């Protein structure tokens, strides 16, 4: 049984879960509890996928193959619109599949995350015709990788200040400008591009969204090496790049609404379950047991980290429940994201204290040096999808009703 039965009848949630569980059992192996099998396999605790130099990297290929396999079985976009290849089932079914899948060893989905959770819903909501049909289905099958071309050197948290311009020229738009900190642009096939199409003084009113082919002449991608040694961020420049008007999303000068829908999707992915618990809690507790002591400071830091993780997980579950019931204020995802980031900071403080020199130099001890990336990568969580400061403004204005 796929997401829908062969007769087109919606299966019950129990039927769906049974079929999904059988699908996963046939194709994947269950995850092992690394805390109970200490020293076996990888001890990696990265918050993000290990860097991929290009789209031919083994991890990227594995992620695409698994996504295609899920799509062929009807699990590629379970809750998506049927007219663009989705399953048309309630979001509860997608949540159920995600929970089942999390119990199995599957390829890291990071190369596909932006395409599936940001670009696909935006294209499905704001485009028409061949673009909507082809792009949505290609993303669902893992045939197309995407990136988000929003941030600029002077328009990061203040997204309305973007300067990359798009000028109409017949049936095309000519784009010039620069984007920065673009995750996975070097492996992406397409990018979601926000441009200014009018007077810069108008800010929110003169922005337009496009889908750009990253191989278009005039697009230059330069990788940025991060402090972890990876280079998944990029600088992307546009030198008179021509984009057909058929690749425009939404109305001309109405790109702010399109961008806000994309950002809502991003924040829901980060704060609502897709990345709600990147920490293996059992592995963390076992690491503290093996390398830590029972001094008061260690116990205090451990308690703070464990409480923060529990609160973040509980609030993410609450957001999911409210989303399924249709009662969710989207600004609640900002609260969830702040709680997630706070929990990661507390984990980082605990890890630094317990491991000490082991986190600076690799002693060869399993489950020690690998934790160093938590402290280095946490900044990406506090910036991605809107900085912590922007999230707090959102909560203040849209949840608490405070003035701007």
Catalytic positions, please? 266
CA distance 376 to 93: 35
Asked if the domains at 13-145 and 147-255 fall in one CATH topology, the answer is: no
Q: Which fold has domain 13-145?
A: Butyryl-Coa Dehydrogenase, subunit A; domain 1 (1.10.540)
CB 123 within 8 A of CB 131: yes
Q: Where are the domains of the chain?
A: 13-145, 147-255, 278-398
Q: For the segment 132-180, what is each residue's pLDDT rounded down to a tens digit? A: 999 999 999 999 999 999 999 887 677 888 999 999 999 999 999 999 9
Residue 330 reports pLDDT greater than 60: yes
Residues in a beta bridge with 207 = 196, 254
Structure tokens given for 254: 């109405």
pLDDT on residue 30: 95
Query: Highest-confidence range of 33-37, 55-59, 286-290, by mean pLDDT?
Result: 286-290
CA distance 337 to 333: 6
CATH 3.40.190.10 fits 147-255, yes or no: no
Residue 300 reports pLDDT greater than 90: yes
Task: Say which residue the tokens 């060869």 belong to.
Answer: 364
Furthest C-alpha separation in the chain: 71
Q: For the segment 208-251, what is each residue's pLDDT rounded down to a tens digit? A: 999 999 999 999 999 998 888 888 899 999 999 999 999 999 99
CA distance 174 to 242: 5
Domain 278-398 is of which CATH architecture? Up-down Bundle (1.20)
DSSP 43-64: ----SSPPP-SSTTSHHHHHHH
């Amino acid at each position: 049984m796929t997401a829908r039965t062969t007769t087109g009848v919606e299966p019950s949630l129990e039927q769906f879960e049974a079929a999904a569980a059988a699908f996963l059992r046939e194709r994947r192996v269950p995850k092992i509890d690394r805390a109970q099998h200490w020293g076996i396999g990888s001890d990696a605790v990265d918050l993000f996928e290990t860097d991929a130099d290009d789209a031919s990297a083994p991890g990227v290929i594995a992620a695409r193959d698994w996504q295609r396999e899920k799509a062929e079985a009807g699990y590629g976009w379970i809750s998506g619109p049927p007219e663009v290849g989705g399953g048309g089932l309630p979001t509860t079914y997608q949540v159920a599949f995600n929970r089942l899948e999390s119990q199995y060893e599957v390829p890291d989905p990071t190369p596909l995350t932006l395409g599936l959770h940001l670009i696909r819903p935006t294209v499905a909501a704001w485009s028409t015709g061949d673009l909507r049909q082809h792009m949505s289905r290609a993303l669902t099958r893992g045939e197309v990788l995407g990136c988000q071309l929003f941030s600029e050197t002077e328009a990061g948290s203040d997204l309305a200040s973007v300067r990359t311009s798009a000028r109409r020229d017949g049936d095309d738009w000519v784009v010039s400008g620069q984007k920065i900190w673009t995750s996975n642009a070097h492996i992406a096939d397409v990018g979601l591009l926000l441009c200014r199409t009018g007077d810069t003084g108008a800010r929110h009113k003169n922005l337009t969204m496009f889908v750009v082919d990253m191989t278009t002449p005039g697009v230059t991608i330069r990788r940025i090496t991060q402090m972890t040694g990876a280079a998944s961020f990029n600088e992307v420049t546009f030198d008179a790049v021509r984009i057909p008007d058929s690749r425009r999303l939404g109305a001309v000068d109405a790109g702010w609404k399109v961008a806000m829908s994309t950002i809502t999707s991003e924040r829901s992915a980060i704060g609502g379950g897709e990345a709600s618990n990147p920490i293996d809690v059992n592995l963390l507790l076992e690491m503290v047991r093996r390398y830590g002591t029972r001094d008061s400071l260690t116990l205090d830091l451990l308690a703070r980290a464990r409480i923060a993780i529990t609160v973040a997980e509980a609030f993410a579950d609450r957001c999911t429940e409210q989303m399924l019931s249709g009662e969710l204020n989207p600004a609640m995802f900002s609260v969830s994201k702040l709680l997630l980031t706070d929990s990661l900071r507390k984990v980082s403080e605990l890890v630094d204290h317990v491991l000490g020199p082991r986190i600076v130099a690799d002693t060869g001890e399993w489950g020690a040096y690998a934790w160093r990336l938590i402290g280095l990568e946490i900044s990406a969580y506090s910036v991605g999808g809107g900085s912590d400061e922007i999230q707090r403004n959102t909560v203040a204005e849209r949840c608490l009703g405070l003035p701007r």
